[in-house]
Amino acid sequence: MDVKQFLLISVVVAVVAIAAVWKWGPKWSGIIGLATTHDESKLEAGKKAASHKSSRNRIIPPPLKDLKKDYKVRLVYFVPSDREAKPKYREKAEVLMRVVADVYRREMKAHKQDTRGLDFEFGEDGRLKVHLVKAKHSAVFYTGQPLEVDRLLNTQQQEIWEATGFFRNRPCLVFSEAGAVAEARPLPQVFSGLACVSGDIFRDEVTANTIEEQIDKLMGHGHSGNKSRSKESQTSNGVLIHELGHIFGMLHDTRDPRNIMMRGYDGLGKMFDPKTAAERPVRFSLAHARMAATTRFFSESFDEQDSEPPRIEEFQLASPARAGQKTVEFSLKMSDDGGLGSMVALQRGGGQIDALVSEMDFGGDKMVSKTLSFTCPQPLLAKQPLVYVMNVIDLNGNLAQAVADAQVMP
């Protein structure tokens, strides 16, 4: 089978499995029935399990435990036929996920979001499960030459489905030996998605075999004073948190350099230093913590029978965007039978990088019709293209997205 045939089959299977893949903003690089009961005993047990082991000079994330949720993150190690799996990848994946889970849990707590945290698939041996997918083709088959990100995601996704099964309720975090990328493709219609990072993260220089050694790396103690190596460890581990954030409805957020959805994770080691941890040197904004906490991966109470996303009837500029403006007016109209949760909106273009320009908590309102002011980080530049992306979630964890294109008028 040649590459064109394979890609054609991949697209057909994807279309059958999912009605449509979102044009998700960050990729530039979507009460009926019986509600479940909020389980206080599970929540309290999760909080106790999250207690930290701390020494005088570092904070150690707690071990991962199977939280028995129906909505879990699936880990995959994708190895093309001309590449070799790196040693100790399973141990290193567990170390990385302990850091990821700990940051999410601590930030949810900081924003007063009640959750037991993020859950993962576990094997029969009780350990974190990592699906090793030995791919059928060499790396260039998946990447193309030069690298094509969409091709890489499509071809990997197809083979992963074939090897592990279609992953409904299972967003997939892929460590790929095919290409060095960091991309996320949410599939909210099936509470899933694909986040892909480079398999180079399993190099000994980047990730340790034990959590204690990894925290030393993140804090700069494990590289014999080599700051660039520590920076690589922090960035590589932090990218996992960032890309999963896109799966949970987050957009890029440049309002605060400490934000994980910016590049705040470059300083991840400070989260594990008792002298700086309380200051939350790496963080999620309230808007993003609120968004993630409403997803089924963190929420402790939602109506599983509700699978309908919010209906967005209108998302457009109320008047033309003009050069020099620092605010734009947007008309917004949407509804949801189970109640609307929150929204975040991002601006790209107009002479600036991605920036979060609006957020709102709808508090369960079933219908919203209003005009909002979006605050631009800098005055708009004439004739520049603009793209606005809005993500909105309902109270039962269903995500929807709207995109509006415009151009800055003189």
Q: What mean pLDDT is reported for the chain?
A: 87
Residue 54: the pLDDT is: 55
**Contact by Cβ (8 Å): 264, 257:** yes
Burial of 110 from C-beta contacts in 10 A (0-12 / 13-18 / 19+) = middle
Give the model confidence (pLDDT) of 28-40 as tens digits: 333 223 333 334 4
Q: 236: which residues sit within 8 A by CB, 6+ positions away?
A: 197, 200, 201, 206, 207
Taking 80 as the threshold, does the pLDDT of residue 72 lie above it?
A: yes
Give the Cα separation of 409 and 305 in Å (integer).
46
DSSP conformation class of 316: E
Task: Quickly state the pLDDT bin for 198 (edges 50, 70, 90).
Answer: very high
Q: How many residues would you count in the chain? A: 410
**Contact by Cβ (8 Å): 352, 379:** no
Task: Quickly state the pLDDT bin for 228 (edges 50, 70, 90).
Answer: confident
Sign of the C-alpha dihedral computed for residues 282, 287, 293 and 296 taken in this order: negative
What phi and psi, each to the nearest 5 degrees, are found at residue 101?
-60, -35
Tokens of 68: 């028995």
Count other Cβ atoms within 10 Å, centred on residue 327. Answer: 12
Residue 354: the pLDDT is: 86
Taking 90 as the threshold, does the pLDDT of residue 367 lie above it?
A: yes
Mean predicted confidence (pLDDT) in 379-408: 95
Give the model confidence (pLDDT) of 147-156 as tens digits: 999 999 999 9
Burial of 355 from C-beta contacts in 10 A (0-12 / 13-18 / 19+) = buried
Give the Cα separation of 408 and 324 in Å (integer).
9
What share of the chain in percent tops pLDDT 90?
Answer: 78
**Contact by Cβ (8 Å): 369, 333:** yes
> Does residue 325 sit in helix, strand or coil?
coil
Mean predicted confidence (pLDDT) in 324-347: 96
Tokens of 145: 């030459």
Residue 229: the pLDDT is: 82
Residue 224: the pLDDT is: 53
Task: Quickly state the pLDDT bin for 221 (edges 50, 70, 90).
Answer: confident
What share of the chain in percent tops pLDDT 70?
Answer: 84
Q: How far are the Cα atoms of 197, 255, 314, 368 from residue 244, in angstroms, in the given order?
A: 11, 20, 28, 28
Structural domains in the chain plus CATH codes: 3-294 (3.40.390), 311-407 (2.60.40.10)
Chain centre to alpha carbon of residue 131: 20
DSSP codes joined into one string, 11-54 = HHHHHHH-S-----GGGG----SPPPPP-HHHHHHHHHHTPPEE
pTM, 2 dp: 0.87
Residue 349: the pLDDT is: 82
Residue 222: the pLDDT is: 55
Burial of 190 from C-beta contacts in 10 A (0-12 / 13-18 / 19+) = middle
- ∠ at Cα 213 (207, 216), nearest 5°? 95
